[in-house]
Structure 1
Amino acid sequence: MKSLQTKIFLFFVLLLLLVQAIALWTIVAGNESQEKQAITNRLTTAKTIFSAQFNSRRDYLAAFAETAAKDYGIKQVFEDELRSLLVAMNNHRKRIDADLAMAISSEGVITAQLVLDKNQAGESKVKQGTEGKQAFRFPQWLESQEQDHLYVLGDSVYQISLSPMNVGAKTIGWLAFGFEIDQKLAQHFLNITQLHTDFAIKVGDEWRLIASSNTDAELSFTKRVVNGDTPNDYIAIGHLVDEAGQLQLALAMYGLRADIVAVLQEQWWQFLILTFITLLLSLSVAYLIAASITKPIKQLVKQAKIVASGDYNQTVQITDSSELGQLASEFNAMQSAVLSREKAITHRANHDGLTDLPNRSVLKLALQDLADRKQPFRVFHLNLSRLKDVNETLGHDVGDWLIKAAARRLSTLEGFQLLCHIGADEFILLAELNDDSAPDLAVEKIHQVLEENCEYQGISLQLQVRIGIAAVPEHCHDTKSVLQMADTALHHSHKVNQLVQIYHQGLDVNSAERLSLINDLKDAIVDDQLELHFQPKLNLVSGIVTHVEALVRWRHPTLGMVPPDNFIHIAEQTGQINALTHWVFINSLKQYKAWCEVGLNINIAVNISAENLKAPDFYGFICQSVETYNVPAEKVTLEVTESAVVDDPEAAIAILQKFKNRGMRISIDDYGTGYSSLAQLKQLPVHELKIDKSFVQRLCDDEDDRIIVRSTIELAHNMGLSVVAEGIEDEFALNWLAQNKCELGQGYFISRPKPAKELTAWLLEKKPYIFE
């Protein structure tokens, strides 16, 4: 009896026997009442079991549908081709063995539907549903907050749950998963409750039996049970599940009354004898067991309450050598371990694993504290520059080392209330505002502490950061918005290549417009929203326009005319630059043929991105297009920026050489603003240099610019290259460039970019320019 396990075992056995004795005494007191009570309990229990399991299926479906709708993988293929979506949906369906899976678009169309079908052999096979590409029959469900519904598909009824799929604030569609209400479910409830189970549906006034555990089930009997008209020789209970008045799911659970009564009668005497034995044993040993167990357990319960209150200093002392004594000892050890783990978990939850600096959780608490105290403060959002280059060149271990070095230096800053590492290469500094808290002074401190290079195994690495700044209440009054504004300012600093950017409202407009352009650019290419403008290039020897540059414009349906500077970079970042360049090149060749028909022999220049040069099929596309439209290769000029060549010189030189061998002209665009060296320029297979407009626009006023342009022209000629000058905005620059033997010139003084039709008329009327 010293074994705690034995004591607990006896206690529960005796407790169970005592409960049985009470139940049997009730049977002895009144058999008829016992029979009615047993039947009532059985029916009530059966209905409770059904409600619990039916609701559990509903909650399980709702939770799973919501989880699946948040899955990034299925969002990626949701609007992709059907096969990918069906595979993704089936993978999710198999996780819960769902019988139905549907994807509904934002327009309310069923884009994909999977149904688990069973053949005559009972084998299950997934197939596409019959409602694919059809409008969802219950659009009101999509706007409702209710997730669970009853869904009729053919001869089957499903318990389904819908969940919206959101990308940001936009709902791109809905996912639905469902379990069929079938014979398998009816048999399941028969096994649990020992009562036959029928399922029927009522649509309007029409009834239909859909599943039953009873092979001889009849719809008329089911309807009687549901309506409360149960035959005397049966026990039964009915239930209706209403689907918003559209259809009703009827449940009938029943069994023969004689079977229940017979079992009770057979067991009555056995239960009676067992009851007296149980009572006798319970009275004999209850006191001894209670006396030996109650005291130490009360001590443990008291200590558990103390620990639950947060006091880990007190311990429990039990001298018992049985399992209770061992439990007390282990309880004290657990209490100490919990205290240690709680401290470690709290620290880990509030600090970054790499730098051990406070993380975003601490940042939120600090911001809330400042807001509660109505204390003005400023947020500095820092982003380490060129960390990606370090990771790609020296490895991520060196990148992590550099992040930790930055964290150590930033930790030494004074005048800031909090330094947080919010992940990757980003840090947040908080500073309370006072009379001496100018942002310039804080920025200077940050740059000073990071100014000295870091030495890693003999390699000198520079720590430089870009900073986005926002303040409360200067820019907003809530903590969430100030973080977003600081992030917006940081993003803009990257865009305009500045180290520091203070937030202003104009940045939000740019961000919203950029997001709109990202979403709309793909449609713009497909829907023919783009158009070409052409800027003439004047031959500075003959005074005749011999070349034009093709420039793409986007006529946005809501934003109007969008210049290329606003969307070319987006196309490069989103992988759409190849499609955009293909469109420009094809339409440029078509325009060349149109000009030939009216007697104009014009060379057309098309701008080429660095991403185009990396595309494996780009060379083949250009050559095939030139052959298809029968355009002489020498009439095509490909303009490539210096930066496009610098990214991968060997690959760029190789493909440019192939274009040159095919007879096309290659031009280096914006020369003087990039990073190419003279040695690299010598290796490039190009025909001409295009001097950037920043050197040309002030030729009249700036002697230094004249020296640079004159030297560039002489350098190009010595290397056998011709020169194009862009940005000619006055007559002085045009005549000066002609005098210094620049071959071609373009700029607003000659002509702004024009649509093809307008430029054609201009070219036909244009007389040769006479230079001074």
Structure 2
Amino acid sequence: MGVDCQFCGTAVSIPESGALLFDLPSLFDRDVAVSSAALSEMKNSKVITYETKTQLQNVLKSLITKKEPEEWIYVLDASAHIFPITLRHLFERLEHPELAEIIHQSDFTSYFQPILDMKSNSIFGYEALLRTSYKDIDPGMLFSFAHRSGLHSMLDQKARRTAVKKKAQYLSEGQKMFINFLPSTIYVPEFCLQHTFQIVKEFNVNPEDLVFEVVESEKITDVPHLKSILDTYQASGMKVALDDVGTGYSTLDMLSLIQPDILKIDRSYVRNCNQDEANQKFLYNVMDRAQTLNIKVLAEGIETMEEWNWLKAHDIDYGQGYFIGKPKPYPQDKLIHP
């Protein structure tokens, strides 16, 4: 049975029949097998049994309108195995079992989008972008479901493994692989990142060839915690990148504290940078601060030759975007850049 690291044992598979329990003693704070003695302690707890998953769905639809969706409940299966889960997470997993199964089975792959060294026009590396084999299920849909169902830790971890494996299979030593990660899934960096470090050893990848990108859409407010995550990656020989600089929490004032290796400029500041004076002013500011702190700058979302030429003329370190190359199942031999 698969587990979700975020909740230290939240099961992925929902029993075909069983019971929901409420108000259990604090003894049941994780996925455990329940002893006969412990079962006797449930006499003061509310128990709702179900015979089919359809019946369970109907029960949840009723409960979720009466209770707080984030309330923790407990699922008991036929073998007296119990695990905690929130009402919302259980409801979402029952509503979309096909998406839960994709995550559970790692039924996805990584596409490669090239990143160029703009000074030499050579390939610096690739960003790993998650893709499924299902035409009607795009990555955004999968990540949205993972957040709603409490499976984002599992998806994040499995996506990292897929990306490292792809690096080992298709990229030569020295070529970087940029891998996104969700800081909210990493509670204690020294412990939570051990799985990633084990994967790197398993596939015999040079840690210096990996660049871990902070996914900024989570609106992180705990900057010291983020710094501890980045420090842990860097202490293991890996590089770290701050994505979408210019939006969210990653203001220029934070750069000296966080000290990433690479800044990825949000595409909104790259668009029409050859003629948009406001964007140019922002880019000058970023480049000046980055140079002072010895941080490399990567412009993402380059879509035109004019943007490329302006960025190259102003000594941006790296470039990424459809003008250079679109995400592909395999690294590209021929790129679109001039």
TM-score under structure 1 length normalisation: 0.33
Q: Cα gap change, 1:618/1:423 in structure 2, threshold over 3 Å: closer, same or farther?
A: closer
Q: Cα gap change, 1:601/1:423 in structure 2, threshold over 3 Å: closer, same or farther?
A: closer
Matches within 5 A, 1:556-571: 556=134, 560-571=135-146
d(CA) in 2 for partners of 1:698 and 1:86? 68
d(CA) in 2 for partners of 1:81 and 1:104? 21
One-letter identity of the residue aligned with 1:543: N
One-letter identity of the residue aligned with 2:21: G
Matches within 5 A, 1:223-234: none
CA shift at 1:589, angstroms? Answer: 1.8
Residue 687, structure 1, aligned to residue 261, structure 2: yes
Of 534, 540, 550, 2:118 maps to 540
Q: Residue 595 of structure 1 aligns with which residue? A: 170
d(CA) in 1 for partners of 2:247 and 2:117? 24
Q: Residue 511 of structure 1 aligns with which residue? A: none
**8 Å contact from structure 2 (residues 245, 251) kept in 1:** no
Q: Cα gap change, 1:523/1:629 in structure 2, threshold over 3 Å: closer, same or farther?
A: same
Q: Cα gap change, 1:593/1:543 in structure 2, threshold over 3 Å: closer, same or farther?
A: same
**8 Å contact from structure 1 (residues 554, 561) kept in 2:** no
d(CA) in 1 for partners of 2:199 and 2:324? 30
Q: 1:693-735: CA deviations, max 9, x gaps?
A: 1111222442211222232122212221100111111111111
Q: Residue 572 of structure 1 aligns with which residue? A: 147
One-letter identity of the residue aligned with 1:73: L
CA shift at 1:644, angstroms? Answer: 5.7
SS of residue in 1 equivalent to 2:283: helix
Of 590, 607, 611, 2:184 maps to 611
Q: 1:274-326: CA deviations, max 9, x gaps?
A: xxxxxxxxxxxxxxxxxxxxxxxxxxxxxxxxxxxxxxxxxxxxxxxxxxxxx
**8 Å contact from structure 1 (residues 642, 670) kept in 2:** yes
Q: Residue 713 of structure 1 aligns with which residue? A: 287
SS of residue in 2 equivalent to 1:659: helix
One-letter identity of the residue aligned with 2:184: E
Matches within 5 A, 1:611-690: 611-614=184-187, 617-642=191-216, 646-690=220-264
CA shift at 1:624, angstroms? Answer: 1.9
CA shift at 1:81, angstroms? Answer: 8.0
Residue 747, structure 1, aligned to residue 321, structure 2: yes
d(CA) in 2 for partners of 1:608 and 1:519? 24
One-letter identity of the residue aligned with 1:674: G
Q: 1:91-113: CA deviations, max 9, x gaps?
A: 77x79xxxxxx97445xxxxxxx
**8 Å contact from structure 2 (residues 265, 297) kept in 1:** yes
**8 Å contact from structure 1 (residues 553, 561) kept in 2:** no
Residue 166, structure 1, aligned to residue 114, structure 2: no
d(CA) in 2 for partners of 1:533 and 1:87? 52
CA shift at 1:561, angstroms? Answer: 4.3
Q: Cα gap change, 1:91/1:554 in structure 2, threshold over 3 Å: closer, same or farther?
A: farther
Question: Structure 1: any 5+ residue segments left out of the alignment?
Answer: 1-68, 96-101, 107-163, 172-359, 361-421, 425-513
Q: Cα gap change, 1:674/1:645 in structure 2, threshold over 3 Å: closer, same or farther?
A: closer
Q: Residue 453 of structure 1 aligns with which residue? A: none
One-letter identity of the residue aligned with 2:120: S
d(CA) in 2 for partners of 1:691 and 1:618? 28
Q: Residue 723 of structure 1 aligns with which residue? A: 297
Question: Structure 2: any 5+ residue segments left out of the alignment?
Answer: 1-16, 25-29, 69-91
**8 Å contact from structure 1 (residues 660, 686) kept in 2:** no
SS of residue in 1 equivalent to 2:315: coil
Q: Cα gap change, 1:735/1:515 in structure 2, threshold over 3 Å: closer, same or farther?
A: farther
SS of residue in 1 equivalent to 2:56: strand
**8 Å contact from structure 1 (residues 688, 722) kept in 2:** yes
**8 Å contact from structure 1 (residues 613, 652) kept in 2:** no
Matches within 5 A, 1:94-113: 104-105=51-52
One-letter identity of the residue aligned with 2:301: G
One-letter identity of the residue aligned with 1:609: L
Q: 1:7-55: CA deviations, max 9, x gaps?
A: xxxxxxxxxxxxxxxxxxxxxxxxxxxxxxxxxxxxxxxxxxxxxxxxx
**8 Å contact from structure 1 (residues 653, 684) kept in 2:** yes
d(CA) in 2 for partners of 1:667 and 1:605? 8
**8 Å contact from structure 2 (residues 18, 50) kept in 1:** no
Q: 1:336-380: CA deviations, max 9, x gaps?
A: xxxxxxxxxxxxxxxxxxxxxxxx9xxxxxxxxxxxxxxxxxxxx
Q: Residue 21 of structure 2 aligns with which residue? A: 73
Instruction: Identify the structure with the greater helix proportion.
Output: 1
Q: Residue 584 of structure 1 aligns with which residue? A: 159
> In percent, how many aligned pairs have the same letter?
25
Q: Residue 129 of structure 2 aligns with which residue? A: 551
**8 Å contact from structure 2 (residues 252, 289) kept in 1:** no
One-letter identity of the residue aligned with 2:118: L
Matches within 5 A, 1:295-310: none
Q: Rg larger in 1 or in 2? A: 1
d(CA) in 1 for partners of 2:119 and 2:170? 23
| Higher relative contact order, chain-length normalized (CA < 8 Å, sep 6+) | 2
SS of residue in 2 equivalent to 1:674: coil
SS of residue in 2 equivalent to 1:631: coil
Q: Cα gap change, 1:86/1:754 in structure 2, threshold over 3 Å: closer, same or farther?
A: farther
Matches within 5 A, 1:197-216: none
SS of residue in 1 equivalent to 2:21: helix
d(CA) in 2 for partners of 1:530 and 1:699? 35
**8 Å contact from structure 1 (residues 589, 629) kept in 2:** yes
Q: 1:211-249: CA deviations, max 9, x gaps?
A: xxxxxxxxxxxxxxxxxxxxxxxxxxxxxxxxxxxxxxx
TM-score under structure 2 length normalisation: 0.71
Residue 529, structure 1, aligned to residue 101, structure 2: no
Question: What is the root-mean-square deviation of aligned Cα atoms in Å?
Answer: 3.7
